[in-house]
Amino acid sequence: MKDFDELNNERYDVIVNCIGISSVSDFKERVPLYFRLTEQFDNLVLDYITNYPNTLYINFSSGAVYGTDFSAPVDNLTYSRWDVNHISEADFYGIEKLNSETKHRALKDLNIVDLRIFGYFSRFIDLKSCFLLSEIISCVKKGKEFITTPDNIIRDYIHPKDLMSLITLCINRCLINDVFDVYSLKSVTKFEILDYFVAQYGLKYTIKDSMQISAVTGRKDNYYSNSRKAKDIGYNPQFASMDSIIQESLAILGSKERYRGQSSN
């Protein structure tokens, strides 16, 4: 391990920047720090690849660059829309990501790829992070009831192997400055996720019409992309969103039988 101030002392073929929101629970309070931190590390890498232009910079961006309107999934024809005279806290994250992507496209002679990730779930997730899956799994572990709204939102979770496949395809390109929406083989609805955890882990949940959901980065009913631009570089996902959820939740929760027994007590 080396300190970041030693970055220029080494030569790297690829640098991957995956700094982002690890938890939405304290995002409001940490917005100024988050903006400064992400820009600091982005500029650090940009300075490096300016000195060493053969290095590929892969930046994990977000579907939030499209704005806050996800009443329908996005695609290649979707525009970002911002009410610049009334910027709200729901806009902050997306604007920050868009600003970063804009800088990268302006540096057209450098090797930079932005990967817009709409959903990623892994066994290393912070279960206190207040994301949908972290809250569901926390309820399973604690034997608590999951409370949710009747809205059947749609999410798209990229499998770790598919994400690695896409990264490898970017690495194999000699010269590239581009952006790609990241997608799995198949997206998943909230109630498909809940049905799985009910059947496999004995999760109990209740629907409340009056429940208020805090969405610090904006409401996202259909948070996934129909853009298949990544096919142009050979990307062909092998795993559906549920594959990721099944595999990674098993690594977190372990034996399903112990939870079935817990829920029947």
Domains of the chain: 4-264 (3.40.50.720)
Q: Over range 212-224, report the average pLDDT.
A: 77
Q: How many CA atoms lie within 13 A of 215 on its CB side?
A: 18
| pLDDT over 90 at 48, yes or no | yes
- Percent of the chain exceeding pLDDT 90 equals 74
**Integer Cα distance of 181 and 178 in angstroms:** 11
Confidence (pLDDT) at 260? 63
Per-residue pLDDT for 75 more than 50? Answer: yes
Mean pLDDT confidence for 171-195: 97
Instruction: Give me the pLDDT at residue 62, please.
Output: 95
Q: How far apart are CA 111 and CA 53, in angstroms?
A: 7
pLDDT value, residue 8 = 87
pLDDT digits (tens, 9 = 90+) for 158-175: 999 999 999 999 999 989
Q: What pLDDT score was predicted for residue 217?
A: 64
Q: Per the confidence metrics, is the pTM higher than 0.95?
A: no
pLDDT reading at 181 higher than 80: yes
Give tens-digit pLDDT for 77-134: 999 989 999 998 889 889 999 999 999 999 999 999 999 999 999 998 888 887 899 9
Q: How confident is the model at residue 264 (pLDDT cuts 50, 70, 90)?
A: very low
Q: What is the mean pLDDT of residues 216-244?
A: 94
Is residue 74 within 8 Å of residue 81, measured between CB atoms? no
Distance CA 181, CA 160 (A): 15
Strands, sheet with 188-189, edge to edge from the N-terminal-most edge strand: 188-189, 154-155, 222-223
For the chain, give me the number of helices (H) and strands (E)?
7, 9
Higher pLDDT, 96 or 5: 96
Six-digit token string for 59: 């930046």
State the pLDDT at residue 242: 98
Whether 263 has a pLDDT exceeding 60, the answer reads no
Give the span between the Cα atoms of 184 and 119, in whole angstroms: 9
Counting every residue written for the chain, the total comes to 265
Q: What is the pLDDT at residue 239?
A: 98
